[in-house]
């Protein structure tokens, strides 16, 4: 198994990478390109797992060479799991990319990173509710402080492919329940 750290530029992917990997890290050009990337190894329950610090990308519809490499890495094989790193203070944008990855059938967990930055902006995200709607693990993190990283790793085993239709149904139910509650009705 291989783990890809994916997300927009500047969301904390490399901080996760450095905290997850040991000394055995290599930097190289992606074959046929001048795009640099770093890979390393981590041990989960005794198994050595390759982990890749994927270049930042806004979507799976690449706009430059670095984004092309990010998409190529994702498409290299199906025996991969994705840690989708999202800036919790800009969650909609990050979720767009996560949804694209889900739509392609990959297994992922979401790291809602920069919870401290979001909190400073009075943004609070209900990670449990988001997890219920998406059907995949969602963990709040502050990568620079190491917060949530252990939990994130422990939830990797729960990463699984999900159907976008199921997510839409869950979201619709969630918002119906919420409207009923807001209107004072019993849901």
Ligand X SMILES: Nc1nc2c(ncn2[C@@H]2O[C@H](COP(=O)(O)OP(=O)(O)OP(=O)(O)O)[C@@H](O)[C@H]2O)c(=O)[nH]1
Binding residues (CB under 5 A) for Mg ion: these are 13-14
Tell me the C-alpha to C-alpha distance, in Å, between residue 177 and each of 12, 118, 172, 184, 187: 34, 26, 8, 11, 6
Main-chain dihedrals φ then ψ at residue 87, nearest 5 degrees: -75, 110
SS3 at position 43: strand
Q: What does the per-residue mask of binding to ligand X show for 129-168, with x meaning CB under 6 A?
A: -------------xxx------------------------
40 is a site residue for ligand X (CB under 6 A): no
User: In whole angstroms, what is the distance from residue 82 CA to residue 93 CA?
Assistant: 17
- The residue within the footprint of ligand X, chosen from 4, 6, 13, 21 (CB under 6 A), is 13
Identify the residue whose tokens are 């059907």.
135
- The residue within the footprint of ligand X, chosen from 12, 40, 94, 137 (CB under 6 A), is 12
Burial class (CB in 10 A: 0-12, 13-18, 19+), 179: exposed
- The residue within the footprint of ligand X, chosen from 15, 102, 152, 153 (CB under 6 A), is 15
By beta-carbon proximity to Mg ion, the closer residue of 85 and 139 is 85
Which residues of the shown chain bind ligand X in the complex (CB under 6 A)? 7, 9-15, 56, 113-114, 116-117, 142-144
């Amino acid at each position: 198994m291989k783990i890809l750290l994916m997300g927009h530029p500047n969301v904390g992917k490399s901080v996760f990478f450095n905290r997850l990997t040991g000394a055995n890290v290599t930097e190289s050009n992606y074959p046929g390109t001048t795009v640099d990337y770093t890979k390393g190894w981590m041990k989960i329950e005794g198994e050595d797992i390759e982990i890749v610090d994927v270049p930042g990308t806004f979507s799976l519809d690449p706009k430059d060479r670095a984004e092309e490499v990010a998409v190529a890495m994702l498409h290299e094989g199906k025996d991969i799991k994705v840690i989708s790193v999202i800036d919790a203070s800009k969650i909609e944008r990050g979720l767009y990319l996560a949804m694209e990855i889900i739509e392609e059938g990959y297994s992922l967990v979401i790291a809602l990173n920069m919870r401290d930055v979001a909190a400073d902006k009075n943004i609070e995200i209900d990670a449990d509710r988001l997890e219920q709607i998406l059907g995949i693990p969602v963990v709040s993190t502050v990568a620079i402080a190491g917060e949530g990283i252990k939990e994130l790793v422990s939830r990797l085993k729960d990463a699984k492919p999900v159907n976008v239709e199921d997510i839409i149904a869950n979201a619709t139910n969630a918002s119906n329940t919420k409207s009923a509650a807001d209107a004072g009705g019993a849901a």
